[in-house]
Structure 1
Amino acid sequence: AGLLLVVALGNAAGCRASNAAAVVEHPGDRPARVQRREFRPELNGRWIGNGISYGPHRDGQDPTKGIHPSAAEFREDLALLAPRWRMLRVYASGDPIETFLRVIDEDQLDIKVMLGAWINTETRETPAGDVEAIPEAVAANRAEVEAAIRLANAYPNIVIAVSVGNETQVSWSSHKVRPEVLIRYIRQVRNSVSVPVTTADDFTYWLLPESRAVADEIDFLVTHVYAMWWGRTREQALSFTKEKFAAVRAAHPQHLVVLGEAGWATRRRTEGAEEAKLMAGVASESEQEKFVCDYLAWTTANRIPNFYFEAFDENWKGDDHPDGVEKHWGLFRADRTPKPALRCVPLWE
């Protein structure tokens, strides 16, 4: 969901978006491609498609305040992740992610990474009803895109793809950008790297006809499906995930579709919050374990490339309430102790 994944920058003000707006062409924007680049989740000939989303910030750290993990903490996390996952997803390309990639490189770990470029809202509405640019947001987005390009080219043996923007188009996004802005950044990245390039968004966006303009610009498509946010119980969750994933595939038959996020939270508020109104499923470690076992059996049997959401609980997210659901999607707790669901994830052999 939209507020779950802010890993690099704080949200800027909302903007007025128009899916009908024309794409502004710039010299060299349009990628001269004959065919899409293939996203291949493989390592030494083996399928590594059961990936995981990784938000690295621990208790006391906060990316919105510039407080990031150290190289030693990245090494600790990778020691926990590498035995089970060989494909990780990160959401940004700022300083901590460069440290993260450097650690993987220095330690010669057999891990592939889908790099992110976090894109924030670039415009706001004035009291008079006009739309104006947010200069600091524009500058931050440009710096983020340039960093993603630099890192993808600096670590070609690690970076397997670049995802430009995360949930920037779906109607409820807290960091929505106009489609022509997103397309311009996608083109910039794709013209500057050799790996496949994509953007990630909720399944509801990819089912809209207007999503085709963005889909035309990317090499493969990344969708998010959260049965829990859609009021499903754990017993209904896998069938809901399968249904929506199949619908996105049917809407974009020319694309490989990657399930970029799906998961089950272990704690949530049951009153006085949006999650209490929208969620019906029980949030618990035992329910998460059942969902993860079912989910991985399906993705493995059908070779569905995916990034389970997520590796670690992240207490910096959301408000100050300790039960806020955004904090509790991890397969490890914030203190790095494992939850029971980890038993469902096989060791890499």
Structure 2
Amino acid sequence: MRPSTLLSLALAAAPALVSASTRGTLGFSLGDKTADGKCKTTSDYETDFDNLKDLATLVRTYSGTECDTPQNILPAAKKKNFKVVLGIWVGAQDSDDTSTNDASFKKDFAALKKAVPGYEDVVEAITVGSETLYRGDQTGPSLHNYIGLVAKQFKTITVGTADSWNKFADGTADDLFTRDTEDAPLVTYVLANAFAYWQGTTAKEAYKTYFDDMSGAMAHIQKVAGTNSDKIHVINGETGWPTDGGSDYEAAKAGTDNAETFWQTGVCGMLAWGVDLFYFEAYDESWKPDSTGDNGKAMDEKHWGLMTADRKVKFNTTCPY
């Protein structure tokens, strides 16, 4: 099936959680370290934004304490007219534990309480947890309790979460959309991560998997949320493809040409569908050590950037539709 044909079918069957009449907004995942592994300063973020501004004015981060990210990025965002999604990390706890005492959460939450006042206008949202359901660190109800604490603190800022698309599609996250109380309000900001690459799909076929995954997550949320579904904003929280120098994963082959193929068919198609998305990631992070993938092999994570570590665009980003 040609990409244009798939796009037409997707637009015709788009869940109510997206608007086919409005083009999606592109954002980027942004690391907090320079190429040599040093923490970024406000000046570094300003340079990052200057290089991204022709493509996007929205970025997302992951931690409230690592590298003092909020303290450094928020002044830069305000100066350069960018919006930032801030992250609060939530670690593991016993499945029967309903408390909100996770140490990483408490540290990140405290950091945001200090950093955000005065910068509310540049905070697009706050996400509580990053793939914590996927890792099995939290249950839906326990994560919901953490989100509720943050929502109570930041009453004028949208608060949500980020997780793998399949945790939204398989019911793991249902509590976020079916319980609406003072302590655990309805979660209306959802970042669903979807990587066709990590499903071992070829670059030419990846857009099909990508659309299917996002459609599955959105359709399930719409079903369980019922009449509240029109309040929920589902965004693709992460997607991307490793370029030259990266690691292959089954039939998914790293390479700049393949990354461009996925951008042109998958990323551009998703934006045309009306879905907001964050590309992972803005810049190569050459400081990253290799990690072990699900297949037990060493995986290079240094070459996922749309741009090189010295901020040069790797391929044509003009969308065909």
Q: Give your verdict on TM over 0.5.
A: yes
Return 5+ residue gaps in structure 1 as ranges: 1-38, 41-45, 62-66, 125-130
Decide whether the 8 Å contact of 2:85 with 2:126 is kept in 1. Answer: yes
- 1:319 aligned to 277, 287, 290, which one? 290
> Residue 261 of structure 1: CA displacement?
0.8
- 1:269 aligned to 247, 253, 261, which one? 247
CA-to-aligned-CA distance 1:50-104 (integer Å, 9 cap, x gap) = 111111312221xxxxx41122222221111122101111112221332111122
Instruction: Name the residue aligned to 2:210.
Output: 241
Secondary structure, in 3 states, of the residue corresponding to 2:205?
Answer: helix
1:128-167 mapped onto 2 (5 Å cutoff): 138-167=102-131
> Residue 283 of structure 1: CA displacement?
0.8
TM-score, normalised by the number of residues in structure 1: 0.71
> Residue 336 of structure 1: CA displacement?
2.2
- 2:144 aligned to 157, 170, 183, which one? 183
Instruction: Name the residue aligned to 2:260.
Output: 289
Q: Aligned partners of 2:63 and 2:34: how far apart in 1?
A: 16
CA-to-aligned-CA distance 1:112-165 (integer Å, 9 cap, x gap) = 1111112222469xxxxxx99xxxx93332020232344444312100111111
Q: Aligned partners of 2:139 and 2:113: how far apart in 1?
A: 21
Secondary structure, in 3 states, of the residue corresponding to 2:301?
Answer: helix
> Residue 242 of structure 1: CA displacement?
0.6
TM-score, normalised by the number of residues in structure 2: 0.77
Decide whether the 8 Å contact of 2:23 with 2:275 is kept in 1. Answer: no
- 1:139 maps to a residue whose letter is A
Instruction: Name the residue aligned to 2:132.
Output: 168
Decide whether the 8 Å contact of 1:222 with 1:260 is kept in 2. Answer: yes
Instruction: Name the residue aligned to 2:169.
Output: 207
Does residue 1:257 correspond to 2:234, yes or no? yes
- 1:257 maps to a residue whose letter is V
Q: Aligned partners of 2:268 and 2:72: how far apart in 1?
A: 33
CA-to-aligned-CA distance 1:260-291 (integer Å, 9 cap, x gap) = 11111113335xxxx4xxx3122111111121
Taking a change above 3 Å as real, the CA distance of residues 47 and 154 of structure 1, as seen in their structure-2 partners, is farther
Secondary structure, in 3 states, of the residue corresponding to 2:192?
Answer: strand
Instruction: Name the residue aligned to 1:328.
Output: 303
> Residue 244 of structure 1: CA displacement?
1.0
CA-to-aligned-CA distance 1:2-50 (integer Å, 9 cap, x gap) = xxxxxxxxxxxxxxxxxxxxxxxxxxxxxxxxxxxxx99xxxxx97711
Quick check: which one's helix share is greater?
A: 2
CA-to-aligned-CA distance 1:162-210 (integer Å, 9 cap, x gap) = 111100011xx2x823444422220011111112211111111112223
Q: Aligned partners of 1:197 and 1:212: how far apart in 2?
A: 17
Decide whether the 8 Å contact of 1:215 with 1:221 is kept in 2. Answer: no
Taking a change above 3 Å as real, the CA distance of residues 48 and 234 of structure 1, as seen in their structure-2 partners, is closer
Taking a change above 3 Å as real, the CA distance of residues 183 and 149 of structure 1, as seen in their structure-2 partners, is farther
- 1:104 aligned to 51, 71, 77, which one? 77
Secondary structure, in 3 states, of the residue corresponding to 2:49?
Answer: helix
> Residue 320 of structure 1: CA displacement?
7.8
- 2:122 maps to a residue whose letter is I
- 1:192 aligned to 153, 156, 163, which one? 153
Q: Aligned partners of 1:47 and 1:204: how far apart in 2?
A: 24
> Residue 232 of structure 1: CA displacement?
0.4
Q: What's the Cα RMSD here?
A: 3.1
Secondary structure, in 3 states, of the residue corresponding to 2:45?
Answer: helix
Decide whether the 8 Å contact of 1:289 with 1:344 is kept in 2. Answer: no
Secondary structure, in 3 states, of the residue corresponding to 1:340?
Answer: coil
